[in-house]
């Protein structure tokens, strides 16, 4: 149980004993200011109102019944009826000790791990990954890491766009290329491949005819078309996997669950929705009309699930997909990481799946949406010439910038050391810049900010981590040498130690809401609190050995927290920089 849960339990118990309903909410929050203690209960006012009682009177009753002496040494009523809780230093110290001695820093693990499908990254075949895929890929991967750490059965689902009518022209073009360039071809530049295929399709009627013919053949399972299609998928995914590796993202080839795998389900879905009277024919197409969504004219919105020419749509695939994830993967929770423009699409898909009883209401369906990545001019992030920025180009630039920066800071590094640090810093900076912003809004991509060693950045945290390690190195001490107990005499020690044991509730929030920025803000706090602790409380030159050991323990827990926290974000640490 994390501190928030523990205090919720204690305060609620007292509220119930004071006459509140058993469903009363203590609303425990971390206090924003030291004078309000470490935590505050904000739920007294609302409950008192329900009970028809003055809030301060209820607060007084709650304090009378409250059993909290083991955790807190001061509890007071403030303002109209807030309860401020001041944790006991000895209890905080003890919790630090426990965290330090447990292998997952004493994080509360769920009583019943869930099967959670995380739908993320999802680039399209025969196209190179661009910055538009960055947010889904790295926020999704952070979620994967956090939920896996908690012991959930996490299934990564890379819903790549590997199906659709464009494959006719892509196959026709691949064939043309192969004929011209002998057998072994490599799609060094997928982007121009796609563009060239499209150009041929638009300009060459013979080619276009062939392409249309290939679409039909591919969909009916023709072996030649299938093989060519496979080639396109393999070439694209091999390149994407290399990019994932570079990004330190955990997606592998096995996680590819593209749109194509649902293809065989689609005719059955359409027939079933028709039979259930959910889908009707309209202008030759098959449409599901939803009363819950209104179009501009105020009429029920129609979701097309089969076009007049027999083709299926993105929505049809997603309806099949959610059914599959429930039935075959036994998902209990599905999280989609796509940008906010796909919100309505997903809501409609889920609604249809619910109406058709493909998935039960108990299945948790969540869209963890995000805004766009903007340039410094506030417009969507583009190259100078206005093209979309390829992900690999972006990472190349990050590497170049980080190399110059690290080399200037530390000229003595060997090339090998330099390369390792640059990899951690460059990729870390790009990822952290994204992860540290609230995902629901757009954010401005700014090289100078993200690579700065000051402020809430990856390099700052990575550097803070190396500083803690260097203390141990300097003293010739390892974790195994730590003895004695943690004691918290000064404010700085207490502040750091208190924040350290809030790792548990921080992770709980991130796991529930898919908000890595909360973890970033937390780690940044830890790094700054450590820094002021270190400046004010000598560690290696402490007055006595007992104090030195206590402070080394806080330093050790700081390092572990930073390392595990950054790992959850998919950001590497180095031993020196």
Segment lying near ligand ARG (by CB under 6 A), choices 11-19, 22-30, 119-127, 264-272: 119-127
- Closer residue to ligand ARG (CB): 38 or 119: 119
Query: Which of the 8 DSSP states describes residue 108?
Result: P
Q: Please give the structure tokens belonging to residue 151.
A: 């012991």
Angle between helices 134-149 and 545-568 (to 10 degrees): 130
Of 285, 352, 346, 311, the residue nearest 159 (C-alpha): 346
- Closer residue to ligand ARG (CB): 336 or 370: 336
Q: How far is the CB of 122 from ligand ARG (least distance, A)?
A: 4
Single residue of 130, 145, 156, 159 touching ligand ARG by CB under 6 A? 159
In the block, tokens 């939920």 appear at: 147
Decide: residue 321, CB within 10 A, 0-12 exposed, 13-18 middle, 19+ buried: buried
Binding-site size for ligand ARG (CB under 6 A) equals: 9
Q: At a CB cut-off of 8 Å and minimum separation 6, what does 33 contact?
A: none
- Closer residue to ligand ARG (CB): 156 or 159: 159
Q: How far is the CB of 123 from ligand ARG (least distance, A)?
A: 7
Cα 137 from Cα 11, distance rounded (Å): 40
- Other C-beta atoms closer than 10 Å to the C-beta of 394 total 19
305 binds ligand ARG (CB under 6 A): no
Q: How far is the CB of 309 from ligand ARG (least distance, A)?
A: 22
Q: How far is the CB of 116 from ligand ARG (least distance, A)?
A: 15
Cα 18 from Cα 21, distance rounded (Å): 9
Neighbour-count burial for 343-374, b at 16+ CB within 10 Å, e otherwise: eebbebbbbbbeebebbeeebebbbbbbbbbb
- Closer residue to ligand ARG (CB): 133 or 553: 133
- Closer residue to ligand ARG (CB): 130 or 152: 130
390 binds ligand ARG (CB under 6 A): no
Q: How far is the CB of 246 from ligand ARG (least distance, A)?
A: 20
Segment lying near ligand ARG (by CB under 6 A), choices 24-32, 93-101, 117-125, 229-237: 117-125
Single residue of 81, 161, 514, 570 touching ligand ARG by CB under 6 A? 161
**Residues recorded for the chain:** 577
124 binds ligand ARG (CB under 6 A): yes
Provide DSSP, 370-397.
Answer: B--EE-TTSSBPB-TTSPBPBHHHHHHH
318 binds ligand ARG (CB under 6 A): yes
Cα 330 from Cα 322, distance rounded (Å): 11
- Closer residue to ligand ARG (CB): 319 or 451: 319
Whether the CB-CB separation of 518 and 62 falls below 8 Å is answered with no
Q: Please give the structure tokens belonging to residue 444.
A: 């401005």
- Closer residue to ligand ARG (CB): 336 or 534: 336
Segment lying near ligand ARG (by CB under 6 A), choices 82-90, 116-124, 460-468, 513-521: 116-124
Q: How far is the CB of 99 from ligand ARG (least distance, A)?
A: 37
The CA-CA-CA angle for residues 264, 268, 273, to 5°, reads: 140
502 binds ligand ARG (CB under 6 A): no
Q: Three-class SS of residue 88?
A: coil
Single residue of 14, 83, 321, 519 touching ligand ARG by CB under 6 A? 321
Q: How far is the CB of 336 from ligand ARG (least distance, A)?
A: 6
Per DSSP, helices labelled H in 491-538 are 491-500, 503-513, 516-536
Q: How far is the CB of 121 from ligand ARG (least distance, A)?
A: 8
Q: How far is the CB of 322 from ligand ARG (least distance, A)?
A: 8
Query: Which of the 8 DSSP states describes residue 71?
Result: T
255 binds ligand ARG (CB under 6 A): no
Give, as ranges, the residues between 532 and 551 that touch ligand ARG (CB under 6 A).
none
- Closer residue to ligand ARG (CB): 387 or 491: 387
- Closer residue to ligand ARG (CB): 338 or 573: 338
Q: Which residue is nearest to ligand ARG (CB)?
A: 122
Rounded to the nearest angstrom, the gap between the alpha carbon of residue 90 and the centroid of all alpha carbons in its chain is 35
Taking CA atoms, 218 is separated from 163, 201, 215, 372, in Å, by: 10, 17, 5, 35
Q: How far is the CB of 305 from ligand ARG (least distance, A)?
A: 15
Neighbour-count burial for 19-49, b at 16+ CB within 10 Å, e otherwise: ebeeebbbbbebbeeeebbbbbbebbbebbe
- Other C-beta atoms closer than 10 Å to the C-beta of 509 total 15
Angle between helices 223-246 and 205-219 (to 10 degrees): 90
Single residue of 119, 255, 493, 504 touching ligand ARG by CB under 6 A? 119
Give, as ranges, the residues between 327 and 356 that touch ligand ARG (CB under 6 A).
336, 338
Q: How far is the CB of 361 from ligand ARG (least distance, A)?
A: 20
122 binds ligand ARG (CB under 6 A): yes
- Closer residue to ligand ARG (CB): 86 or 336: 336
Whether the CB-CB separation of 110 and 149 falls below 8 Å is answered with no
Q: How far is the CB of 328 from ligand ARG (least distance, A)?
A: 15
- Closer residue to ligand ARG (CB): 122 or 170: 122
Q: Please give the structure tokens belonging to residue 442.
A: 């757009």
Q: How far is the CB of 520 from ligand ARG (least distance, A)?
A: 24
Binding site for ligand ARG (CB under 6 A): 119, 122, 124, 159, 161, 318, 321, 336, 338
């Amino acid at each position: 149980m994390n501190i928030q849960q523990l205090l919720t339990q204690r305060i609620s118990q007292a509220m119930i004993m004071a006459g509140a309903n058993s469903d009363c909410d203590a609303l425990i929050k971390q206090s924003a200011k030291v004078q309000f203690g470490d935590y505050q209960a904000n739920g007294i006012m609302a409950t008192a109102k329900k009970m028809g009682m003055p809030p301060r009177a209820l607060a007084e009753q709650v304090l009378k019944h409250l059993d909290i002496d083991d955790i807190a040494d001061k509890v007071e009523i403030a303002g109209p009826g807030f309860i401020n809780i001041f944790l006991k230093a000895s209890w905080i110290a003890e919790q630090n000790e426990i965290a330090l001695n447990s292998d997952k820093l004493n994080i509360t693990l769920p009583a019943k791990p869930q099967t959670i499908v995380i739908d993320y990254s999802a680039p399209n075949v025969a196209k190179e990954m661009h910055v538009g895929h960055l947010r889904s890929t790295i926020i999704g991967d952070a979620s994967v890491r956090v939920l896996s750490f908690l012991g959930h059965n996490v299934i990564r689902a890379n819903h790549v766009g590997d199906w659709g009518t464009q494959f006719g022209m892509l196959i026709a073009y691949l064939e043309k290329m192969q004929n011209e360039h002998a057998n072994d071809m490599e799609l060094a530049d997928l982007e121009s491949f796609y563009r060239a295929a499209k150009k041929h399709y638009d300009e060459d009627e013979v080619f276009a005819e062939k392409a249309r013919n290939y679409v039909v053949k591919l969909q009916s399972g023709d072996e030649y078309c299938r093989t060519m299609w496979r080639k396109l998928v393999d070439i694209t995914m091999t390149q994407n996997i290399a990019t994932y590796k570079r990004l330190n993202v955990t997606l592998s080839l096995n996680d590819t669950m593209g749109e194509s795998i649902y293809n065989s389900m689609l005719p059955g879905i359409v027939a079933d929705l028709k039979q259930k009277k959910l889908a009707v024919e309209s202008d030759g197409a098959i449409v599901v009309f939803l009363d819950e969504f209104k179009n501009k004219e105020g009429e029920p919105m129609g979701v097309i699930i089969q076009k007049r020419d027999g083709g299926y749509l993105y929505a049809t695939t997603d309806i099949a997909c959610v059914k599959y994830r429930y039935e075959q993967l036994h998902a209990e929770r599905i999280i989609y990481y796509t940008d906010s423009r796909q919100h309505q699409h997903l809501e409609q898909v889920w609604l249809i799946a619910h109406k058709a009883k493909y998935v039960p209401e108990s299945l948790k369906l969540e869209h963890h949406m995000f805004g766009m990545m903007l340039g410094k001019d506030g417009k969507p992030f583009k190259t100078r010439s206005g093209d979309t920025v390829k992900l690999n180009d972006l990472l190349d630039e990050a590497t170049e910038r980080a190399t110059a920066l690290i080399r200037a800071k530390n000229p003595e590094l060997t090339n090998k050391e330099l390369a390792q640090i640059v990899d951690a810093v460059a990729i870390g900076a790009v990822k952290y810049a994204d992860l540290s912003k609230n995902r629901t809004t757009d954010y401005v991509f700014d090289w100078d900010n993200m690579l700065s060693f000051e402020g809430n950045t990856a390099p700052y945290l990575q550097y803070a981590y190396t500083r803690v390690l260097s203390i141990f190195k300097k003293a010739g001490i390892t974790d195994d040498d730590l003895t004695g107990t943690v004691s918290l005499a000064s404010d700085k020690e207490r502040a750091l130690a208190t924040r350290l044991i809030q790792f548990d509730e921080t992770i709980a929030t991130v796991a529930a809401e898919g908000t890595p920025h909360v973890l970033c803000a937390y780690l940044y706090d830890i790094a700054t609190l450590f820094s002021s602790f270190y400046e004010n409380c000598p560690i290696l030159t402490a007055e006595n050995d007992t104090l030195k050991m206590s402070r080394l323990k806080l330093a050790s827990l700081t390092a572990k927290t930073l390392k595990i926290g950054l790992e959850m974000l998919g950001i590497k640490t180095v031993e020196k920089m």
